Structure 1
Amino acid sequence: MSRVNLIEKNSDSELVRQGEDGDFRNLFKLDNIRDGVSLGLIEQLGGEKGFSKIFEVDLKKGVLDEEQASILRNRFGANLPIIKELTPLWKLIVECLGDTMLQILIVAAIVSTILGIIEGEGGQYEGMTIFLAIFLIIGITAGNNYAKERQFAKLQSKLDEGHVQVKRGGNVVTISNKDIVVGDVLLFQLGDIFNVDGLYLSGSEVKIDESAMTGESDEMSKASFEVCQKDPHGKSPFLLSGTKVNEGTGVMLVLQVGDRTVQNEMKKLGQSENTPTPLQVKLEAVAETIGKVGVVVAILTFTILLIRLFIEYGTNDFPFWDQVWNMDCLQKILQFFMIGVTIIVVAVPEGLPLAVTITLAFSVNKMKDEQNLVKTLASCEIMGGVNNICSDKTGTLTLNTMQLNAFYCQEVNYKDYQLPQIKNLEKQYLDLLAASNLYNSSAYPKKGYNGKFEQIGNKTECALIEFCDMLGYQLSSYRPSDNILRIIPLNSKRKMMISIVHHNNKIYLFSKGAPEMVLKKCTKYINSKGEEEKLTPQDTSKILSIIEEYAGQALRTLGNAYKILNYHLEYDFDSIPEEYLLSDLTLINIAGIKDPVRPDVPSAIQQCYRSGIIVRMVTGDNINTAKAIARDCKIIGADSELHEYEAMEGSQFRQLTGGLIKVIKNKEEVQEVKDLQKFQEIAVHLKVLARATPEDKFILATGLKQLDNVIAVTGDGTNDAPALRKADVGFAMGITGTDVCKDAADIILLDDNFSSIITACKWGRNIYNCIRKFIQFQLTVNVVALFMSVLGAAVTKEAPLTSIQMLWVNLIMDTFASLALATEPPSDRLLNRKPYGKRESIVNSIMYRTVIGASLYQIVILCLILFVPNSIFDFDTEFNKDYDNRPIQRLTMFFQTFVLMQICNSISCRKLDEVSLNPFSGLFNNLLFWLINFIEVLVQYLLILFGGKFAVVCELTVWQHLFCWIFALGGMIVAIIVRTLPSKWFNGINIFAEEEIEEEKLDETIASKLRRKSSVRYGSVLDENHENKRSVQKRLSIFKE
């Protein structure tokens, strides 16, 4: 069916009526756009003028003011992101009740309570107490998850923030993307990602990547509605939310915002699941080993208790089956069964991977305060292993506050203090100089009342615009302007920007870019008399020496050139070949722009080297500028002699390494460096890559990964996106970075500062440290609890810890310990060690030493309490009468000592190395740790003093309490002594073979089968859309054993 027929079919239809009412969703339906229906709807609505009438907005001036914006917002809706509905507390409680072992324990507790009531004499206490303990665990776990999920939601709202430029009352202003309204006239440029739907009004060379919305990989060229009307099967005027500007700059009319946009309509349909981070997957393997041992011990303990019971009945004078089939025996068997189940609850560390999420929830919020906005949780962990950083220069290593420092024009080299003298040059030349800089730019610096500029947009352009202002030429006289006929944006290959403008009744071409590239296109220059003169080889050599002089002073160099085009104003300037435009130019000037190195960067670079991290600077500047800045930053030494590969140009680097080739690995096509051996030879020395293209940065990242490095890459441009995705951790600049760049990154540097990357490294190492602290604490509890359960069952005919007591221990070792140990703040000492290696085990020899030493000490002490004569600790046997003749005071002291030893051991486990023997150092840096330990001690004493039959405890004497504390504190002394033993003695221990568990098999692990599914246990993810785009399996290679 033709487009005309479709229009006729839809004229005066419901679709048009909806459009007139401000509902434009049908306009942006992909089928309607593809079939031409949408163009017909616009025609029915009156085209661009029709929209102007509907919104009461002048398309040249935009929305008048905030008052009109508020009216439009109330009428058409606010531009707010789709917020994922947070899980209510009751649902989190239900999730916790999904734990298989807890369900079995609840059923057993119900049966125990019923039997106890039938039997009488307080037999129901144990079942009721287990109920209380289970719901206490569920409440605390659910509350912890509730708070954590809201932390992530708060951080997610920060990720959704952004800024755009719109016309308000004829002026270009910067507003938050949440303040965009339907009817806004929005300016966009290369690298932007739309978060609204709109209609293209005007622009130059605009190409959009719509693959995220349409699935089509080809770029789509854009044109105005009038142009598309003439050729409906050619370009398109529709700009969809979620699509990216790959080329050009332009202006659009906003038609849909908020939940009506195409992107948010699709988000409503999407449903994402929690995705494990690499460290969580790695810990799942550790938990699997512990869980298997726990299940064996639980079965063994239950079997031993059952056999001992039957042996006791078999040796009595009463008939065996008469004793078995009575209420008392059933109660005991049920009690043994509950002990076995409780051992599984304690031993299967289903909270181990969750500890990572707790650490990350704590870390990402702290990192935000230190200018690191985390998008993917995995990146926080991986930063702990980064050993190479490929950094941009501008804004990352430098302040990105550009100022003109030197200027060459009319054969005179002006220094910074001589720049005002340029005012005295002839007006004709100054007019040309101003036009070449003010037309040929996209920045919009604002001049304050004090005469100083706020640099907004490209800082290099801002410096030149400020210079023109000093000469008496204001930006407002040149832009925005209908005189601009065509703009060809800067790209990494051409390294020049071109503008064709109608100026002073002539058609000018202005070109601006890398001075060497501009000079190659020039055949003339403006001499000392202000006249055009042919460039000779001597002139070219002189100008090149000026460029080299500026570069040697660490100045960013820029060249301007022009030519007059002999065309009529009505000519189709888009049809002129680029080769013709960039030929026979006349050089106007060479500018040297100063961008000072950030004061803290040199010390940060030195810290990197002490931390075992190599820093490589990748820049588009020429080789001399790059070397000068690298020396200022301490990336390379001050010596004049450098290795031939220490500072290279991108073209040479590309040629020597052979570029990239495509190979098939694991049935997938991947890119690799062609000559890896040569690349390795270069990489040993390479510190500076100058005149580098995004392709060069991608080659560097690819080669370093092939050599088994863990790399971080910084970027700010759209073309940096492939390298950021290739990197293990991609950093985007929060201030100067494009939307595409931020979309590809894992972490956004809010201050564009290199020092913030060092902060991310410190937090990354701290995450690994915190998890190791938690593991060595939990392993000690598990070893001691499991060993004493089996020993007690075999020797004393009963488990020394009851079900309720073990549930309390589980609460200490899982929830409380993860909060206390997983939220330890980082110390600067972390940066004085090497990065964590790819093949470094999560449980190392130092941790084995700690676990073995603490476990042996605790087992000896607990055996002492369990087996010594009553007289040693003055145990009162009178209490036994009320507890079925159990040695209750002995078992109470056992329970008290066990718990206090774990609390003291948590303090010792804060230390992972031999450097600090003092377990209390830095303890006051984490008030949460103190609070949790205080609560644990308080609850433990309340249980001992008032628990009675509910907690299966009795009173202890003052001396017995004192002995409990002596034994507990003695463990800290033993920990200090153990830390002095050489860790190499424990190198041969490798209990936890951390083989990678495939993501799809995570629900087949012990913890998933006996406790809860992995997707529930891992907790919230951050930036779910980004996590889905970047395969987690790629991340797992970082920690692959």
Structure 2
Amino acid sequence: MAEKHHYKGLTDAQVLESRAKHGENSLSSVEGEPLWKQFLEKFTDPIIIILLVALVFSFGVSTYEFTVHNTGIHAFLEPVGILFAVLLATGVAFYFEQKANKQFEILNQVNDDIYYKVIRNERITQVLKKDIVVGDVVILETGEEVPADGELLEAVSLHVNESTLTGEPMVHKTTNPADFEAEATYPSNYICRGTSVSDGHCIFEVKKVGDATEYGKVFEGVQIDNSVKTPLNEQLDHLAGMITKISYAIAALVIVGRLIVYFTNPANSLDTIDWVSFGGYLLNTVMIAITVVVVAVPEGLPMSVTLSLAYSMRSMMATNNLVRKMHACETMGATTVICTDKTGTLTQNQMTIYETFFNAGIDEKLIAESMAVNSTAYLDFTDKDKPSVLGNPTEGALLLWLYGKGTNYLPIREESEVLQQLTFSTERKYMATLVQSPSLGKPVLYVKGAPEIVMTFCHEGGKFLSDISQADFEAKLLQYQNQAMRTIGFAYKVIDDPKAIISENGKLVVNGLHFIGITAISDPVRPDVPASIEECMHAGIQVKIVTGDTPGTAREIARQIHLWDDTCTDRNQITGVEFAAMSDAELLDRIGDLRVISRARPLDKARLVNLLQQKGEVVAVTGDGTNDAPALKAAQVGLSMGDGTSV
């Protein structure tokens, strides 16, 4: 952001005009049905309808027995039992779904009462999130959530957490066309509502608000679709139809059979028939037929199904998986395809040092000091067994590595006086910190960043200053990059003149640093995932990774979880751009072979699910940046995260 600009922003009149044309920056909430109507919907279940019909018939038979045969009040036990079974089944289902709906409402509440810095009338002011309009110029700092979709005007060391849309926690954004990533899920100079600034700061112009944003489209797409029937719904519909046909057929046969028996009796000829006696016989015959119908109805079935689904629903809630519709709980048991995100679902969603490749002669205290002082990240030790990273996750991985070796970074940082510092920027691709080193007792310059950049500072007299050759380091770098890992290079130098290390344009002007080595950082696969993937595939369940990450990283994760092997070809992988460009017919022909979809957007996932359902597949969708991976385990125990529409 070397070139400064003066942004005027919108005038008050332009704000009103934009709001009238493009709407407010809020998501349209779906109007819910009244509680009484939701409760009555429970009586539309086919089995419940059969029970209601049986209840009417049973009440008629009981009334007949009570009035004609004086059987007493116990004649009504059968209809009372059926009524109790109906109310219990519908009541339990209604209660659990209402409980889930309340939790969904809490999660889906959009907090519009957050203030953002916006340039209007050539001044910086604060407005509520819901009052931001198309054309507004918004200023964002680290930690702030992006309030609307827009195009970047300025960006400094900007990294955005896109996990809510693509599952990726760190995506580099820039206004420099030379640094644009061609295969990025969203353009490198475009940020979306619902994501957040994890590092750096920016100024952007709002292009879309409310429902028109990418987040708004996802919000609309996940609204529940009651027209989709789960396999259990279809099976119960079939069972209800079969019970109805068979019971009515038997009842008809009873009536016909008893009439044949009556008229084949010589004493009951048409000439001498006693019509009063025949009327009683016919009424008794009808009562027997109705009893057959009532007996054929399994009164306990709805309650058994409801309790089973309610237990599954409660089990899912206990593991922080909310299911809106009870019948969706059984879908995973019939799942044929799982579409899973990568980050935080297949992986641990925490950057970790996979391997280090340091010079053997470097003092470990020097390595620890270089990581502790040349960093802007912190560790939260609230949970001492599992400290969390505050700040850049890549820098945090270095501090966690030190902590794992029994070294606390904080005392080292506090004892080291910082003399000068260049924070990391995507333009420089390195960070440099000059400190008064407590271990060496002298000013020491520490540099870390992209290894190929850091190495350029490590030459003197045509010689690469390291015990290991530059060629060996480059070969190791290539190995790590082929494994889709992030790499960081480290270097240091004792400085005699601290004033002559940084130029006026904010770049290092020092050479002759000693190259310490490199680290490979990755988001490791969860330990239980490979076995879960193998069990799913052995059971005939297809697993497809749908992620916003790069093709190389997605393919490497697929290899680590045993989803990708030497038999796989380019036909088994596709990018979001290629996916969007293909017709439905082309995708239907190829969709069965796909194992990895990289650089995917939420709408690509929705289209994928729709196409799979057209082929008759039962699809489970999991992930989107969550910190747990329940779906793969759920597939093995017959529970469910949903059918792609109900959860």
> TM-score interval w.r.t. the shorter chain?
0.5 to 0.7
- TM-superposition CA deviations, 1:985-1035 (whole Å, max 9, x none): xxxxxxxxxxxxxxxxxxxxxxxxxxxxxxxxxxxxx9xxx99xx668xx9
- Structure 1 counterpart of 2:110, from 191, 195, 205: 195
Which residue in 1 is equivalent to 2:135? 234
Q: Quote the offset at 1:623 in angstroms.
A: 5.0
Instruction: Provide the C-alpha distance between the structure 2 equivalents of 1:525 and 1:6, rounded to a whole number of angstroms.
Output: 51
Tell whether the 8 Å contact from 2:341 to 2:545 is kept in structure 1 after alignment: yes
Q: Deviation of residue 302 (structure 1)?
A: 1.9
Partner SS for 1:643? coil
Partner of 1:728: 619
Unaligned runs of 5+ in 2: 1-9, 26-30, 139-145, 149-163, 166-191, 202-215, 403-407, 435-447, 491-500, 507-514
Q: Equivalent residue for 2:633? A: 759
How far apart are 1:134 and its partner, in Å? 0.4
Report deviation, 1:589: 8.7
Amino acid at match of 1:434: S
Q: For 1:6-405, what aligned pairs fall within 5 Å after superposition?
A: 34=20, 85=35, 99-107=52-60, 109-110=62-63, 113-114=66-67, 116=68, 123-125=69-71, 128-156=73-101, 159=104, 195-202=110-117, 225=126, 234-235=135-136, 245-249=193-197, 276-309=229-262, 312=265, 314-315=267-268, 319-320=272-273, 323-325=274-276, 329-347=278-296, 356-369=305-318, 373-375=322-324, 377=326, 379-389=328-338, 391-392=340-341, 394-404=343-353
- Tell me how far apart the structure 2 counterparts of residues 89 and 248 of structure 1 sit (CA, whole Å): 40
1:61 aligns with none
State how far apart, in whole Å, the 1-side matches of 2:299 and 2:367 are. 73
Give the aligned length. 515
SS for the counterpart of 1:196 is coil
Structure 2 Cα separation of the partners of residues 383 and 130 of structure 1: 44
Deviations 1:661-685 (A, max 9, x none): 454xxxxxx57538x46x76x65xx
State the structure with more CA Rg: 1
Supply the AA of the counterpart residue of 2:532: A
Q: Compute the displacement of 1:592 (Å).
A: 1.7
Q: Taking structure 1 as reference, are residues 155 and 458 closer, same or farther at Cα in structure 2, changes over 3 Å only?
A: farther
Q: Secondary structure at the match of 2:637?
A: helix
Q: CA deviation at 1:413?
A: 5.4
Where in structure 1 are there 5+ consecutive unaligned residues?
A: 8-29, 40-80, 117-122, 163-192, 205-222, 252-262, 439-443, 478-482, 489-495, 505-511, 569-586, 637-641, 664-669, 712-726, 738-750, 768-1021, 1036-1041
CA–CA distance in structure 1, aligned partners of residues 271 and 40 of structure 2: 52
* Corresponding residue of 1:673: 587
Partner of 1:434: 375
Q: Which one has a larger percent strand, Structure 1 or Structure 2?
A: 2
Q: CA deviation at 1:138?
A: 0.4
**Structure of greater relative contact order (alpha carbons < 8 Å, 6+ residues apart):** 2
Q: C-alpha distance in 2, partners of 1:148/1:523? A: 62
Displacement, 1:288?
1.9
One-letter amino acid of the structure 1 residue matched with residue 520 of structure 2: G
Give CA deviations for 1:733-781 in whole Å, capped at 9, x if unaligned.
Answer: 6xx52xxxxxxxxxxxxx624xx434312333x89xxxxxxxxxxxxxx
Give the Cα–Cα distance (whole angstroms) in 1 for the partners of residues 257 and 613 of structure 2. 54
Question: What CA distance in whole angstroms lies between the structure 2 residues aligned with 1:308 and 1:597?
Answer: 75
Q: How does 1:937-976 map to 2 (within 5 A)?
A: none
Q: Is the 8 A contact 1:654 1:696 kept in 2?
A: no
- Structure-2 change in CA distance of 1:655 and 1:89 (3 Å): closer
Matched, 1:645 2:519: no
SS in 2 for 1:245: coil
Residue aligned with 2:375, SS: helix
Give the deviation of 1:423 after TM superposition: 4.8
8 Å Cα contact 1:557-1:593 kept in structure 2: yes
Partner of 2:486: 557
Select the structure that is richer in helix: 1
Deviation of the 1:402 alpha carbon: 4.0
Query: What is the TM-score when the length of structure 2 is the normalising length?
Result: 0.56
TM-score (norm 1): 0.38
Q: For 1:291, what is the secondary structure of its paired residue?
A: helix
Q: Which of 494, 518, 527 matches 2:458?
A: 527
The residue correspondences of 1:979-1018 to structure 2 (distance < 5 A) are none
CA shift, 1:337, in A, is: 1.7
Rate the CA distance shift 1:316–1:624 in 2: closer, same or farther, 3 A.
closer
Give the secondary-structure state (helix, strand or coil) at the position aligned to 1:421.
helix
Q: Which residue of 2 aligns with 1:545?
A: 475
Alpha-carbon shift at residue 729 of structure 1 (Å)? 0.6
Given that 2:337 and 2:619 are in contact with CA atoms closer than 8 Å, whether structure 1 keeps it comes out as no
Per the alignment, do residues 424 and 368 of structure 1 end up closer, same or farther by CA in structure 2, a change over 3 Å counting?
A: closer
The answer to whether the 8 A contact 1:558-1:591 is kept is yes
Q: 2: distance between equivalents of 1:657 and 1:271?
A: 28
1:366 alignment partner AA:
S
Check whether the contact 2:118–2:127 (CA below 8 A) recurs between aligned residues.
no
Partner residue of 1:446? 380
How far the C-alpha of 1:301 sits from its partner, in A, is 1.3
Q: Residues 607, 549 of structure 1: CA spacing in aligned structure 2 closer, same or farther, 3 A cutoff?
A: same
Aligned alpha-carbon RMSD (Å): 6.7
For residues 432-581 of structure 1, the aligned pairs below 5 Å read 433-434=374-375, 438=377, 445-448=379-382, 453-455=387-389, 460=394, 462-464=396-398, 466=400, 470=409, 525-527=456-458, 544-550=474-480, 556-559=485-488
Distance change in 2, residues 1:235/1:344 (3 Å): farther
The amino acid that maps onto 1:340 is: A
SS of residue in 1 equivalent to 2:622 = strand
Of residues 520, 536, 555, the one that matches 1:592 is 520
Structure 1 residues 673 and 422: alpha-carbon distance in aligned structure 2, compared to 1, 3 A threshold: same
Contact 2:115 2:127 in 1 (8 A): no
User: Partners of 2:315 and 2:342 in 1: how far apart?
Assistant: 26
**Which residue matches 1:172?**
none
Deviations 1:576-617 (A, max 9, x none): xxxxxxxxxxx9995423655544445434434543445566
8 Å CA contact 1:294, 1:343 repeated in 2: yes
> Structure 1: which amino acid aligns with 2:112?
D
| Aligned 8 A contact 1:86 1:150 in 2 | no
Does 1:694 find its partner at 2:619?
no
Q: How far did residue 635 of structure 1 move?
A: 5.2
For 2:95, give the aligned amino acid.
R
